[in-house]
């Protein structure tokens, strides 16, 4: 069914890579063009956003989507992967955290984060986890992230709302260190991607090509300012358009169908940045 176009959210289980999920959905939905908007580690679970058909064109516009996670952690143990599934490299007596809420609150805001060695960030053209696999230490670039909110759910369980690119295992590492401890992540569930939550997710065995309901490209890009076009042929032909807007990037729509993303070329003249037909 190659005319299947849109976004599908699935609840990725543990012990499965994001690529495994893509492969399963490719077979279930009988489509070739399918990708995802952000990897979840094999031991993590939760919301995975899949882009199907024409929706693969909007991947660059979803990469900075905010996320929310529920994570648990274990103090007194540090591993080479910063989670409980790695090799233990240090153990230390646990110091009780008197006020976890205050500790969490101190991490809210914009900050620099040192990513884990097992991440897919590239240094000199090679992914960090490849260096880690070869037991080679390299200098890791600090990344700009933002923590919007952290809520304490239990003595070792938190909900984190954050910018894309945030590593929760590294956040837990830093929180443990600030409390005078060492620590690592013990579980991770992604509960939200942008406006999509776990409630929007299918279980893998629920997905059926005849009944699956996809979210539209229009819905996924509703954070962009929209301009309703009368003559969609001009957009479909990629013509430059004169638009009366202060925005530099807009979504051209017709009857709630996303047609193209336009960007300011000069003055009030806009050109097609990405066609979505």
Active site annotation includes 99: no
Alpha-carbon distance 21 to 35, whole Å?
10
Alpha-carbon distance 58 to 40, whole Å?
19
Conformation bin of residue 165: beta by default, left when phi > 0, alpha when psi is -120 to 50: left
Alpha-carbon distance 184 to 81, whole Å?
8
Q: Report DSSP state, residue 212.
A: -
Q: What is each CA distance from 187 to 14, 129, 223, 245, in whole angstroms?
A: 10, 20, 31, 46
Kindly give, in sequence order, each residue whose CB lies less than 8 Å from that of residue 107, ignoring residues fewer than 6 positions away: 147, 150, 171, 174, 175
Strands 183-193 and 67-75: antiparallel
Alpha-carbon distance 234 to 50, whole Å?
30
Alpha-carbon distance 200 to 55, whole Å?
17
Alpha-carbon distance 5 to 26, whole Å?
13
Strands 226-228 and 249-254: parallel
Which neighbouring-strand residues pair with 70? 159, 189
From the candidates 41, 83, 99, 144, which is the catalytic residue? 41
Is 202 in a helix, a strand, or coil? strand
For the annotated catalytic residues, the residue numbers are 41
């Amino acid at each position: 069914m190659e005319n299947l176009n849109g976004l599908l959210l699935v609840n990725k289980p543990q012990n499965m890579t994001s690529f495994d999920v893509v492969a399963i959905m490719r077979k279930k939905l009988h489509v070739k063009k399918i990708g995802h908007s952000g990897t979840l580690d094999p031991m993590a679970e939760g919301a995975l956003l899949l882009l199907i058909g024409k929706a693969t064109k909007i991947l660059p516009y979803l990469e900075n989507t905010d996320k929310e996670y529920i994570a648990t952690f274990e103090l007194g143990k540090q591993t080479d992967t910063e989670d409980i599934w790695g090799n233990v490299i240090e153990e230390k007596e646990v110091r009780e955290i008197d006020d976890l809420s205050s500790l969490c609150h101190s991490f809210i805001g914009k900050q620099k984060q040192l990513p884990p060695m097992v991440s897919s960030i590239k240094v000199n053209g090679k992914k960090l986890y490849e260096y880690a696999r070869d037991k080679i230490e390299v200098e890791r670039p600090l990344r700009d992230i933002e923590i919007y909110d952290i809520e304490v759910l239990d003595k070792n369980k938190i909900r984190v709302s954050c910018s894309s690119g945030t590593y929760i295992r590294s956040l837990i590492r830093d929180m443990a260190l600030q409390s005078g401890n060492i620590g690592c992540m013990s579980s991770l569930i992604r509960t939200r991607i942008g406006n999509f939550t776990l409630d929007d997710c299918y279980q893998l065995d629920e997905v059926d090509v005849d009944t699956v309901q996809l979210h539209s490209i229009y819905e996924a890009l509703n954070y962009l300012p929209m301009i309703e076009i009368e003559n969609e042929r001009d957009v479909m032909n990629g013509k430059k358009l004169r638009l009366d807007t202060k925005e530099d990037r807009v979504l051209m729509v017709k009857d709630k169908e996303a047609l193209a993303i336009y960007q300011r070329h000069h003055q009030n003249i806009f050109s097609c940045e990405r066609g979505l037909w």
